[in-house]
Amino acid sequence: MKTADIFEFFRRLAEANPSPETELEYGNVYQLLVAVTLSAQATDVGVNKATRKLFAIVKTPQDMLDLGEEGLKQHIKTIGLFNSKAKNVMAMAEILVTQHGGEVPADRDLLTELPGVGRKTANVVMNCAFGAETFAVDTHIFRVGNRTGLAKGKTPLAVEKGLEKKVPQPFRVGAHHWLILHGRYVCKARTPECWHCGVVDLCSFKGKVLEKGAKPPAARKAKAPASRRTRKESKA
């Protein structure tokens, strides 16, 4: 994607959604960190459903320690991998209390030292809580980056590095949200809804679905061999 097209790409996304935000619900930075940690391999909707009652009583790392691991499990048992996540969240709370005065550090390297916090989670927290120009590459951003030609890469880190180089001001802080939302609601995994995409003309994806109800070109091609086999078998 050319530099001018990249600027126009984000200009249009920004025009459609001037103030993008994460869909995870939280009241402070610590709750955001917990929510993002719980969201790994889970939906934001599912995490929000589980954390609404949890966050009514847990607002600080010390509150989490007071609740205890078994108490936490009761709140998050509907979330995938809740047992291992509960262990990580409790260990994280202990470190935050003993080493960081109960505060979430505004430093990506320090965040990734916490149990259960990888680079993606740290990038989300840095972006949402501290306004850092970070790009948390989840499955949606990975797909959009590669499909559109905005930032191609075989790994999330490669796509992240591509975005760091290519996303221009004044879109760098909001880019993470625009790309996630675009991937979640428009540039979907199975069938991208190109017929109502506001940046379809800037996208280099060859498998565009330009009519609602149509099948992706790849899906149409995939059925051809089966049809030919059926014809051959009927002649036998």
Residue set of the binding site for [4Fe-4S] cluster: 187, 194, 197, 203
Task: Tell me the pTM.
Answer: 0.86
Write down the catalytic residue from 85, 138, 206, 223.
138
pLDDT at 231 over 70: no
CATH number of the 4-20+135-196 domain: 1.10.1670.10
Q: What percent of the chain has pLDDT over 70?
A: 92
- Domain boundaries of the chain, sorted by first residue: 4-20+135-196, 29-130
Write down the catalytic residue from 120, 152, 161, 212.
120
Average pLDDT over residues 29-45: 95
pLDDT at 224 over 80: no
Which CATH architecture best describes the domain 29-130? Orthogonal Bundle (1.10)
Query: Among this protein's residues, is 44 annotated catalytic?
Result: no
Average pLDDT, the chain: 91
Average pLDDT over residues 50-65: 97
DSSP state of 44: H
pLDDT-derived band at 223, boundaries 50, 70, 90? very low
Query: Among this protein's residues, is 138 annotated catalytic?
Result: yes
Give the angle 170-164-162 at the CA atoms, nearest 5°. 130
pLDDT in tens, 74-90: 999 999 899 999 999 99
Fill in the amino acid letter for 2. Answer: K
Residue set of the binding site: 187, 194, 197, 203
pLDDT in tens, 116-170: 999 999 999 999 999 999 999 999 999 999 999 999 999 999 999 999 999 999 9
pLDDT at 236 over 90: no
Q: What does the H/E/C string look like for 185-234?
A: HCCCCCCCCHHHCCCHHHCCCCCCCCCCCCCCHHHHHHHHHHHHHHHHHH
With a CB cutoff of 8 Å and minimum separation 6, the contacts of 47 are: 24, 35, 38, 39, 79
Question: Who has greater pLDDT, 223 or 144?
Answer: 144
Question: Who has greater pLDDT, 78 or 222?
Answer: 78
Average pLDDT over residues 101-123: 96
